[in-house]
Amino acid sequence: MGKTADQYLGIHPWKIIETGFHPDRSEVSESLFSLANEHQGVRGFFDEGYSGKSLTGVYLNGIYEERFMQGMAYKGISNRLAFMVNTVNWLHTRIEMEGERLDLAQSQFHAFRRALDFRAGELERGFVWETRSGKKLRLVFSRILSMKTKELACQKITLTPENFSGKISLTLGLDFSQPHRSFSENFWTCPRQESGAVLGISTSIGHHLFAGMRVEASGKRESIQGEKFVGEHLELDLVEGVSTDIERSVILYTPRDSKKPPDETWAAGMALLERSAHPYAKVLEQNTAYWTDFWAKSDILIDGDPETQQGIRFCIFQLQQTYRGAIQGSNIGAKGLTGEAYNGNAFWDTETYCLPFFLFSNPSAARSLLDFRYQTLAQAMRRAKDLDCRGACFPVATSDGTESCTLWQHASLQFQSTTGVAYAIWHYTHVSGDMVFLHERGAAMLIQICRFLVSRGQWSPGGKFGYYAVMGPDEFQMMVNNNAYTNYMAKRTLEYAASVLTDMDLVSLGCSKDELDEWQRMAREMIIPYDPETGIYEQHEGFFNLPHVDIDAIPVEDFPLYQHWSYDRIYRNDMIKQPDVLMFMFLYNGSFSRKEKLGNYDYYEPRCIHESSLSPSVHSILAAELGRRMEAFEFFRFATRIDLDNYNRNTDEGIHITSIAAAWMNIVYGFGGMRSDGDLLSFNPSIPAHWKSYCFQVVYRGSVIRLEVSAERAVVRVVEGSPVIIVFCGQEVEINQEGISAGISTPAI
């Protein structure tokens, strides 16, 4: 694997810190220093503007636009692209002294430092500006997004003249004129502007977005307006050695229903501004309380490895910022709210990679994710129809439940979103025991999913059932027949649905015993390509006959392959992009023997290029299980610091939010050895060679379980709630607050 770390940031247990500004890393840092609060996400761009490379992105959950693509117009090919759109830059600040404008691409400066604190959700950036005439002004920009009042965000600017007294002018604005980068186009009209408030309406969907601000500052002030812009102009007198603060509170309000009159949005936004525009210090205090509380429950502590300690906390912080289930009807974009790549769309990543984090820390957020799929079941049914099928086909990529992937080879051939929803229904109800959800919503989804699977599948000449012309999770094999993952997941889905529905009132569900029988028959006859001699699952029919590529011989400069290889060249050898056979072996871990897992791991791991950021964690988890400690740790390091060290050379586009969810799994399922696919939750911990200890907590059936692992021993206990029965190091045990401990055997490799 030609991927290497690009280390740059300082190591700190609770922060990421950038010392000195490096313009060539400008956009990578913008992504890393992103803030979010589920409602909005703000990249770590410079408040004062920057004429160098920068993506001044402010994204709101659920605010997207749509565009219909020209080109392929065959039936079933989605041509509607929905994309999260850049909104209003509420941090817009311009600073001038003696006619000289502050711009770090032009100005002289020193002592630059940028830090993001995971314990407060605060971004702070400071430096000393030296004007052409030799004046030195220290500036500190701070920002925070309220975790309490989602519409609220605050900015603070502290100015300290080091060697002069004098005038300074600032403009603070709310700027809707920002172009969306992907299309070099602005998607807003602003029908109403008043002093310090502006209403934006997005051009195609018509989303309403109210932005209003309150500025606290001394000096002369003047209100200004421009096209898609309102602001305030300030003239301040600075005194040498004395710090002056400027603060603003901002409300970004969007109604769930944009069909209402714009004036209602305006009124609601103004009321919220009146009520909630708190001082910076107060919001910081609230946020610190929120994060303190969160970390007490959700921290993962690693002793003996500061780099991965920082990495895993960064991952957890970013994931929690992006989604916590407080906003109904939203989902998790592949890049969260940190950039425009993947158009802000949600993928199968949500159920397959992100759900476990929420399931074991915040089950109601996990449920909200499933509710999103239930609420968009009608769109999935329309999509199935477009594909000449019955039932429901969940979208490969979506903002609102409608398929938004315009590449037919993905949208029409990949079904891991659909089987992923079924898996998540099973996983969620299995772990949480929420049978109400299963009956009220899950059953209806399962029926439609199975109907899709029944109608998309075909019978082979030999009388077996399978899926033809599909693309599995390994996107380096397009349009293959009987992809093992697709077929295995379909088989398990059909079996699960038939078994769970058999006790329900089928008539009221519009389903019948005959239908369940058909599902079971198809599951029974499902083709799962497999070589009984070697015990290796064949990724799809014909995979074993593909030309071999030595992936270690691929030059580093060929990555990412999609950019450097002819498109078709990727698809014609045995190189794989991400786990496919190994993926279902991870998801249904308990269904496979150690020997099977070992054989398949040893066959597929050397063929995997990890071009997907989702890949390393799954390999790490299996490597840990199989005692490949070095590999397990290397993959974990990659997964945990994928963005901090810019392994995939594309963090500038945004943070791999869904991949970093897998980093959480990597500790809990990997080193913690947790498995949630058996009847009981189980742990079988191991520890990387150079770690002193680590610990984490999971919520399980209402109790909080804490696992502490050192080089010699592992201890598991209930720290909150009733005793629970689990499997610990192979033994079924009931654990309580006293805990149970076991020795750790260091594996051979």
Active site residues per annotation: 475
Contact pick of 184, 257, 532, 548 for a second copy (by CB under 8 A): 548
Q: Of how many residues is the chain composed?
A: 749
Q: How far apart, in whole angstroms, are the C-alpha atoms of residue 29 and residue 32?
A: 5
Amino acid making up residue 378: A
# of chain residues touching a second copy (CB under 8 A): 46
Looking at the Cβ atoms of 364 and 458, the one nearer to a second copy is: 458
Please list every residue from 572 through 591 that binds a second copy, using CB under 8 A. Answer: 572-573
Which DSSP string do the residues of 37-61 spell out, in sequence order? -SSEEE----TT--SSS----EEET
Identify the residue whose tokens are 């009987």.
482
Q: How far apart, in whole angstroms, are the C-alpha atoms of residue 179 and residue 160?
A: 33
Contact code string over 187-226 relative to a second copy, x by CB under 8 A: ----------------------------------------
Contact code string over 409-438 relative to a second copy, x by CB under 8 A: x--xx-------------------------
Q: How far apart are CB 497 and a second copy at their closest, in Å?
A: 23
Q: Residue 363, Cβ neighbours under 10 Å: how many?
A: 20
Q: Quick one: 525 exposed, middle or buried, by C-beta within 10 A (0-12, 13-18, 19+)?
A: middle
The answer to whether residue 256 forms part of the interface with a second copy (CB under 8 A) is: no
Contact pick of 388, 440, 550, 732 for a second copy (by CB under 8 A): 388
Please list every residue from 60 through 119 that binds a second copy, using CB under 8 A. Answer: 69-72, 74-77
Looking at the Cβ atoms of 604 and 635, the one nearer to a second copy is: 604
Part of the chain binding a second copy (CB under 8 A), chosen from 36-44, 51-59, 473-481, 727-735: 473-481
Contact code string over 522-541 relative to a second copy, x by CB under 8 A: -------------------x
Q: How far apart are CB 636 and a second copy at their closest, in Å?
A: 31
User: What 3-state DSSP class applies to 438?
Assistant: helix
Looking at the Cβ atoms of 389 and 718, the one nearer to a second copy is: 389
Q: How far apart are CB 411 and a second copy at their closest, in Å?
A: 9
Q: How far apart, in whole angstroms, are the C-alpha atoms of residue 13 and residue 241?
A: 32
Part of the chain binding a second copy (CB under 8 A), chosen from 172-180, 237-245, 384-392, 605-613: 384-392
Q: How far apart, in whole angstroms, are the C-alpha atoms of residue 672 and residue 643?
A: 23
User: What 3-state DSSP class applies to 307?
Assistant: helix
Q: Residue 454, Cβ neighbours under 10 Å: how many?
A: 18
Looking at the Cβ atoms of 43 and 67, the one nearer to a second copy is: 67
Identify the H or E element spanning 318: helix 306-322
Contact code string over 24-63 relative to a second copy, x by CB under 8 A: ----------------------------------------
Q: How far apart are CB 197 and a second copy at their closest, in Å?
A: 37
Question: Radius of gyration (Cα) for the chain, nearest Å?
Answer: 27
Assess contact for 40 and 154: CB atoms under 8 A.
no
Q: How far apart are CB 475 and a second copy at their closest, in Å?
A: 12
Q: How far apart are CB 303 and a second copy at their closest, in Å?
A: 45
Please list every residue from 555 through 574 that binds a second copy, using CB under 8 A. Answer: 562-569, 571-573
Please list every residue from 693 through 722 that binds a second copy, using CB under 8 A. Answer: none
In 3D space, the residue among 79, 41, 34, 35 whose CA is nearest the CA of residue 62 turns out to be: 41
Q: How far apart are CB 515 and a second copy at their closest, in Å?
A: 21
CA–centroid distance for 250 within its chain: 25
Amino acid making up residue 161: P
Q: How far apart are CB 270 and a second copy at their closest, in Å?
A: 41
Contact pick of 386, 525, 596, 634 for a second copy (by CB under 8 A): 386
Assess contact for 93 and 157: CB atoms under 8 A.
yes
User: What 3-state DSSP class applies to 487?
Assistant: helix
Structure tokens at 236: 């301040």
Q: How far apart, in whole angstroms, are the C-alpha atoms of residue 682 and residue 726?
A: 6
Task: Return all residues near 329 (Cβ < 8 A) that are at least 6 apart.
Answer: 62, 256, 371, 372, 375
Contact pick of 10, 23, 220, 459 for a second copy (by CB under 8 A): 459
Looking at the Cβ atoms of 602 and 732, the one nearer to a second copy is: 602
Looking at the Cβ atoms of 8 and 408, the one nearer to a second copy is: 408
Count helices and strands in the chain by DSSP H and E runs: 20, 31
Q: Inter-axis angle of helices 363-375 and 443-456, to 10 degrees?
A: 50
Q: Which residues of 664-686 are buried (b: 16+ CB within 10 A; e: fewer)?
A: bbbbbbbbbbbbbbeeebbbbbb
Looking at the Cβ atoms of 193 and 412, the one nearer to a second copy is: 412
Looking at the Cβ atoms of 548 and 690, the one nearer to a second copy is: 548
Q: How far apart are CB 542 and a second copy at their closest, in Å?
A: 6
Looking at the Cβ atoms of 386 and 518, the one nearer to a second copy is: 386
Q: Which residues bind a second copy (CB under 8 A)?
A: 69-72, 74-77, 386-389, 406-409, 412-413, 458-462, 468-469, 478-479, 481, 541-542, 544-548, 562-569, 571-573
